[in-house]
Structure 1
Amino acid sequence: MHPPPPGLLTKYLASDKGTLSLLRRCGLTIRGVKPIHALLVVSGAIADPYAAGKLIAFCAISGRGDLRYAHLIFRGLPRPSMFLWNTMMRAHVERDEPIPALNLYCQMLATGNLPNNYTFSFVLRACLHLSALADGRKLHAQVAKLGWESYDFVQNELIHMYATCGCVDSARRVFDQSLHRDVISWTAMVHGYAVSARIEEARELFDKMPERNAVSWSAMMTGYVQAEMFREALALFTEMQRAGTQPNHAGVVGALTACAFLGALDQGRWIHAYVERKKMELDRILGTALIDMYAKCGCIQTALQVFGGMPDRDVFAYTSIISGLSNHGHSEKAIELFRKMEDDSVKPNEITFICVLTSCSRVGLVAEGKNIFDSMSTAHGIEPGVEHYGCLVDLLGRSGLLAEAATTVREMPMEPDAYVLGALLNSCRIHGNVELAKETVESLEELGLDHGGVYVLLSNMYASANRWQHVAEVRKGMESKRVRKVPGCSMIEVDGVACEFVAGDSAHHLNDEILSTLKIMDTQLKVSSAEGGAEIAESWRELVNKPID
């Protein structure tokens, strides 16, 4: 917008109120504010705290202002009011600039100004953003000294600050001392317990809440997801809907994450339909959650459709779809998307490289994978970690370059972990290199990473090579070390409920019905065996004779 014409400024010269009313004009920008600022200086009205406050508030807080220009006006005032100090601190906190906000607070104290209750709501939030617990405690002491502890929003900021900084017991003391707890303070405490992995205490407090809103439900649900209690998260999501509370953005993302890990496709589709019905914005976070859910539930084409429909894609969206494509056997497409990501100037992160290196490994693109590995440090400034070396070892080993893979392990700048040595061991299994496999298992033993699966794999390799004496030695070693193989498990979704089945466990409440169904299938297969299905029938008989949960 152009500055107001001189005639208009002259008309308002006699009225400060009229001058300030120009700030409310629709479409006014910082260019139009400068003549108003000049007029207030010429008329002397800039010394009025109300006038200065209106001008600085427009420049600092409104989306059409300029914080740098607000600082220029602020520094020109001889004695800024407390409202102006608070406005400037608020502006920095809302822009996620906590350090300038705290610097302003220190400058304010140096000038002899005492903070009021609104001041603490901003500086405590700045400490929260920085996880600056020590500074937060000092501010708490000042709050108590100046007598502002009784204000609800100050107490809520203290609870939130302590809880977010991991000092949940201190947050609980403030919460217990509060005489006027509202839904915000209750939710802050639930969130604090949840992020500190004290889920039982979080749920106990959540159940006691006199009032809940969408943020409260989301806080508890997010806690379940972070604790990998995905069934509980989905159960809570269902309970929230029955309570008549519409899930917010965070709640939907949490529920989709739980669906992804449980393979609960039907419920994930229902949530997607809810998102579309409520016309929720498909931003980066929500879009990535949908991509991840569909990819992990086996619907990679739908995941690609969601990705294609996102108006704005960041590194997390790209990484999620690249991972999904790689896991579904579309490695070439995954690598192609990685190149498109670079062309779109989206900077990959450490996880992106793990996904794309895994894709190269699965299709045997050795040269491509090595170039991508080298580009981490040369083109993107990311030093490869132990996980990336594991991917490189897997790429080389799967392609039969065992000597180069072993050399890579020996020349790593860090100590190899179970992932790196496991990749080398798996390559030895593929190509039948028993001696290198034995050496790798010994390295795993030195690191204390020799779980049951490692010994079983080595034993099977010896058996394939008809080295039965070595098989017996490995089995005897497992018995002497009391090493047990972790039983396998699988998970399926039935009527929107995820059911887990563990090998050797017969505790499932529908165990009899499952066995009965399998026996019926076995009978039908016996009939078909006469028509060429003998091998299939025998496989089903073996399955029926095993314990089933």
Structure 2
Amino acid sequence: MSSLYVVPSLQIEGRHNLQSSSKPISTLRTEFNSPIELQQLHSLFVKTATPLSILPLSRVASVCALTPFFTYAQQIFQQLDRSEIFMWNCCLRDFAESDSPFDAILLFYQLRSHNICPDSFTCSFVLKACVQLLDLSHGRIIHGFIEKLGLQLNLVLQNVIVHLYASCGEISDAILLFDKMPQRDVVTWNTMITQLLKRGDTDSAYNFFVQMPERNVRSWTAMVSGFAQCGKPKEAIDLFTKMEEVGLKPNEVTVVAVLAACADLGALDLGSRIHEYSKKTGFYKNIQICNTLIDMYIKCGCLQAAHDVFESMKERTIVSWSTMIQGLAIYGKAEEALELFSKMIQTGMKPNGVTFISLLNACTHMGLVNEGHAFFTSMTKDYGVIPSIEHYGCMVDLLSRGGLLQEAHEFIKCMPIKPNAAIWGALLGGCKLHKNVEMAEIAMRQLQDLNILNDGYYVVLANIYSEAKQWENAAKLRKLMRNKGLKKTLGWSSVTVKGVVHEFVAGDDSHPQSEDIFKMWDKLLVHMKLRGYVPNTSVILLDMEEEEKEKFLFRHSEKLALVFGLMNTPPGETIRIFKNLRVCEDCHASLKVISEIVNREIIVRDRNRFHCFKDGSCSCRDYW
């Protein structure tokens, strides 16, 4: 030890003087936080003849690593005849996993400057730091160094390199490296699949998936999650079913992904089964799973089940509260939504931007204009939440639906954010509800200036013209749509019977039970008219004979889905229908009457909200 430089006892301002401490050396040996304190301790070891070997050498490395005392640490390692690279690797690993991963890169260069030869572990830790930082520049240098050292056959290193290139956006280089690898393991394949899915390339990811010689739960989960997140819920559920068939048990991440897919697809039976599985496995304690369950039940038309999950949670996050508030909002239960918000505030939970979108939606769905105004003001004034474009959109929608079209227009003009298509679309939707042609044309001009090629906006304006009997303008707009290559989105509705989803489009006669469906509708129609139902042919915005309009009206997709559900489910069972467009006024009136005739609850999820028909009325109170 005589070759080591030892600093005498020092009293350093703001620091503990290790030599003057009354603590035993066995305790002091771990309490140094700087090279100076280490030298103080070293001095004490010399004076007390304490062996240097009791020092925690990984700590010696970490306190000296990026300082002028680097060689001092080297001397300690050499004196004790310990593997120097092992100590620095421990330090590199800690740096790579810390909040400052760049320190690992700095230490690597310091090792090289002192001619310390790195090994495979050294390279893997530095590469992981590069991945954390998405630092491809230094990553390429390390990659080259690995080739120079002859470590290119190390599978762990090759996997990290592929991960680095793919996560830094160089997916073609990652694929090239993948193809050249002499051997691969499940980690290699999973890395490629995960990175492709992050780019939204589900087709390429699935091609890798089917080629895998061996798959683990992570492989299946990555693919299921990828499909769910990329708007392919049917594919996600189909793949999950295959995963179960091969005997693999889903983990918590899988469960979240499948529940999200069930929510998007309205697959209540599978969602409920996953709920039971979560209870049996203990996953039910996972807050994210509970939050996804709430969302799933809401979107599948089971508000009470969602509320039961919410109430059963021992701990809730802002996501839990916001999701439940949004659920109450889209079911037309604005008062309950606002009451739940008050309870949330009482618990000390601070609302975020999503919470206020839920609150504003609640006000929109029930026409609570004053309350909506108050929340919009409160979000910044009381909670420091800066309104986003979504919040402004909610306000325009609230005002427009409430018939305050001029006020909505002025609100848009005063926005500090440039209005987007959703803003003008909300105003256009309000113009349709309140049959205002002039304001609709203003909104449409703005949408055209934004070069928005959304068929829905053109269809809405064409319908506004048709309702105003401006057939020529409606025809011109439809011709413009054809010239732009725009086609009206086909309306469809689906209903699930015994776990099988049945889809219907307007006028659909392709279903095997179509003839029976039409016959049952005719029978229902007799009872409906006895209860005062009169077909609202004004929703058929085509210039045709009244009789033809009625025939067209009676073949709307939600009516066909409903009749099919009535025919194929037990009496009293709730029927849940999912529709891609807004439910029309006539279908809304029809379903109210039918719910009373058949004594059933009928739940319809359309593009904007839920309608719960029961005993001849709807939860939306005819405001939608």
Range into which the TM-score falls when normalised by the shorter chain = 0.7 to 0.9
Q: Do the aligned partners of residues 125 and 483 (structure 1) sit closer, same or farther apart at CA in structure 2, a change above 3 Å counting?
A: same
Contact conserved, 1:89 with 1:104, CA < 8 A, in 2? yes
Using the TM superposition, give the Cα deviation of residue 269 of structure 1 relative to its aligned residue in structure 2, in angstroms: 0.7
Cross-structure match for 1:409: 412
Contact conserved, 2:45 with 2:52, CA < 8 A, in 1? no
Determine the C-alpha separation between the residues in 2 that align with 1:203 and 1:523: 47
Determine the C-alpha separation between the residues in 2 that align with 1:46 and 1:323: 66
2:73 corresponds to which letter in structure 1?
A: P
Using the TM superposition, give the Cα deviation of residue 521 of structure 1 relative to its aligned residue in structure 2, in angstroms: 1.3
Q: 2:356 aligns with which of 353, 358, 377?
A: 353
SS at match of 1:180: coil
Q: Do the aligned partners of residues 100 and 299 (structure 1) sit closer, same or farther apart at CA in structure 2, a change above 3 Å counting?
A: farther
Cross-structure match for 1:298: 301
Give a deviation string over 1:235-254, Cα, whole Å, max 9, x none: 11111111111111211111
- 1:244-393 aligned within 5 A: 244-280=247-283, 282-344=285-347, 346-393=349-396
Using the TM superposition, give the Cα deviation of residue 42 of structure 1 relative to its aligned residue in structure 2, in angstroms: 4.3
Contact conserved, 1:418 with 1:449, CA < 8 A, in 2? yes
**Larger deviation, residues 199-208 vs 330-339:** 330-339
- 1:136-175 aligned within 5 A: 136-175=139-178
Using the TM superposition, give the Cα deviation of residue 379 of structure 1 relative to its aligned residue in structure 2, in angstroms: 4.8
Cross-structure match for 1:52: 56
Cross-structure match for 1:521: 520
Q: Do the aligned partners of residues 55 and 455 (structure 1) sit closer, same or farther apart at CA in structure 2, a change above 3 Å counting?
A: closer
Contact conserved, 1:263 with 1:491, CA < 8 A, in 2? no
Q: Do the aligned partners of residues 467 and 102 (structure 1) sit closer, same or farther apart at CA in structure 2, a change above 3 Å counting?
A: same
Q: Do the aligned partners of residues 476 and 171 (structure 1) sit closer, same or farther apart at CA in structure 2, a change above 3 Å counting?
A: closer
Q: Which has the higher helix share?
A: 1
Q: Do the aligned partners of residues 281 and 126 (structure 1) sit closer, same or farther apart at CA in structure 2, a change above 3 Å counting?
A: farther
Q: Do the aligned partners of residues 546 and 389 (structure 1) sit closer, same or farther apart at CA in structure 2, a change above 3 Å counting?
A: closer
SS at match of 1:78: helix
SS at match of 1:490: strand
Using the TM superposition, give the Cα deviation of residue 418 of structure 1 relative to its aligned residue in structure 2, in angstroms: 1.5
2:515 corresponds to which letter in structure 1?
A: S
2:56 corresponds to which letter in structure 1?
A: A
Q: Does 1:446 align with 2:410?
A: no
Question: Which fold has the larger relative contact order, with Cα–Cα distance below 8 Å and residues 6 or more apart in sequence?
Answer: 2
Determine the C-alpha separation between the residues in 2 that align with 1:361 and 1:86: 59
Determine the C-alpha separation between the residues in 2 that align with 1:196 and 1:258: 19
Determine the C-alpha separation between the residues in 1 that align with 2:109 and 2:346: 45
Give a deviation string over 1:486-521, Cα, whole Å, max 9, x none: 111223333334444444666xxxx34230330341
2:391 corresponds to which letter in structure 1?
A: H
Q: Does 1:85 align with 2:80?
A: no
Cross-structure match for 1:4: none
Give a deviation string over 1:72-92, Cα, whole Å, max 9, x none: 9x9896226333333233234
Cross-structure match for 2:138: 135
Q: Identity over aligned residues, as a percent?
A: 37
Determine the C-alpha separation between the residues in 2 that align with 1:374 and 1:146: 63
Residue correspondences, number: 509
SS at match of 1:491: strand
2:310 corresponds to which letter in structure 1?
A: F
Determine the C-alpha separation between the residues in 1 that align with 2:483 and 2:200: 37
1:514 corresponds to which letter in structure 2?
A: Q
1:120 corresponds to which letter in structure 2?
A: C
Cross-structure match for 1:207: 210
Q: Do the aligned partners of residues 545 and 402 (structure 1) sit closer, same or farther apart at CA in structure 2, a change above 3 Å counting?
A: closer
Contact conserved, 1:225 with 1:233, CA < 8 A, in 2? yes
2:173 corresponds to which letter in structure 1?
A: S
Q: Aligned-residue CA RMSD in angstroms? A: 3.9
Please, which runs of 5 or more residues in structure 1 have no aligned partner? 1-8, 14-18, 24-28, 31-35, 61-67
Give a deviation string over 1:331-352, Cα, whole Å, max 9, x none: 2333344444455554544433
Please, which runs of 5 or more residues in structure 2 have no aligned partner? 1-22, 33-37, 78-83, 536-546, 562-624
